[in-house]
Structure 1
Amino acid sequence: MTVVTPSSAGPAMRVRGLEKSYGKLDVLRGVDFDVARGSIFALLGSNGAGKTTTVRILATLLKADAGTAVVHGFDVATQAAKVRESISLTGQFAAVDEVLSGRENLVLVARLRHLDDPGAIADGLLRRFSLTEAGARRVSTYSGGMRRRLDIAMSLIGNPPVIFLDEPTAGLDPEARIEVWQAVEELAGHGTTVLLTTQYLEEAEQMADRIAILHQGRIIVDGTLAELKRLFPPATVEYVEKQPSLEEIFLAITGGSDKRDTTGTKS
């Protein structure tokens, strides 16, 4: 598949005045934001804030009631087919075939996209996501983090310039979440634009170049982490005894922050 050249320069995504209602329920009430090319943009919000609705509109799976959205230079309302050629969407649950091996999943998607040499594409992605040793095993034996990494690898087949990750670490344990963080940061390192929705604040703090908070259908703040911190009064210096968090204790005991598990099975 050949990725369509964007019709105009500018940000990877530009959203203006986006509105969406379901009956009397106003989910989006004028959403505005830009996403720079090659960056990780985190869209935060509680359940029901409208994060998934926003992603579905940008991915052309849902029509907005009002407003405009441009992805990779294409209007989502009038150029939906070109938008779909430019993006990949990874939902809240890994869309992998558990009967097939990791490599077979990748080869299948490459063939469905009519790409040359699906085997070489699969092998390259297995190496990139540290899954080579597990590539021949059935996905049913994979841990949660390995499945998620495979799912993200599958979404990269065809080299889409824009990736939507809708709560990619929902339900994962701390080690698996760190594995996914590493994979997402690697995407941006290769020039892919990532829009990430999450409820985990530390996830956005760890990965995002820019953060927007969606609340009651509107973006109430949008900026870098440093810009968001400046919204609060300067910190006062206090001498306190810092205790490790439970997550830090867990990772220290299990050694989960040192390396990825490429051979472990699902627990």
Structure 2
Amino acid sequence: MAPSTTPTVPTVKLNNGVEIPQLGFGVFQVPDDETAAAVTTALETGYRSIDTAAIYGNETGVGRALAASGLPREELFVTTKLWNADQGYDATLRAFDAGLAKLGLDYVDLYLIHWPTPARDLYRDSWRALERLAEEGRIRAAGVSNFQPGHLARLTDGAKLVPAVNQVELHPGLQQAELRAFHAEHGIATEAWSPLAQGAVLDDRVIGDLAARHGKSPAQVVLRWHLQLGNIVIPKSVTPTRIRENLDVFDFALTDEEMGAVAALDRDLRTGPHPDELN
């Protein structure tokens, strides 16, 4: 279901005033040689937020697509992430420079510490490096990914900046209510990776019934649920029809009753590792 016209994607204002499109395009598990084509399709469809990471190995492909698009840099929102092996103050600065070179950019809009890796206990040092990058204007916003409330509390104790974003696994099967409440209390935006649970929730009867009721696909219903919760979402696909379909979610709305039906699907379903266990 391709949108008949390019939709206007709403933005979320972060705690430093920077605005991020609420619906973006993720490139997790996309090979570098396929990334440029996928990102080009996304940009042509109307996406303006692109999410990558050092560990994905496709920052170069993203950079090629951005350069070829001809779009003004200020219209784009680019996110990349620091990998675990590069944590630590000096190592973070070096890793950022390497990623920026691969992207072919002068700055990124959002830079995230990818995982807390608590056993290594370096994320506070990395955060100081992100604060420096923000002060220098090389990143417009600093954030984290996969941080739990305890990690966030320790990170911000004595820090200059509160993370603008925490990007976490979040979908109807893993709704992270406690973490989202912590975010709301501390002014941290919630961004969902694996917003469709890698397809695991799309065969759920409740989702299917809502899709039929609204004349939408199950994926569109789940993305709409995220948007109405206030989550930022970055669905990934390399299929042009699905790339377009995922953006076509602004012409319908779920009722409070329907939102409640999706809320009842929460069951601690993880598709990735628990943040306390990855080091």
TM interval, shorter chain, is 0.3 to 0.5
Which one has a bigger Cα radius of gyration?
1
TM-score, normalisation: structure 1: 0.38
User: Which is richer in strand?
Assistant: 1
TM-score, normalisation: structure 2: 0.37
User: Which is richer in helix?
Assistant: 2
RCO higher in structure (CA 8 A, sep ≥6): 1
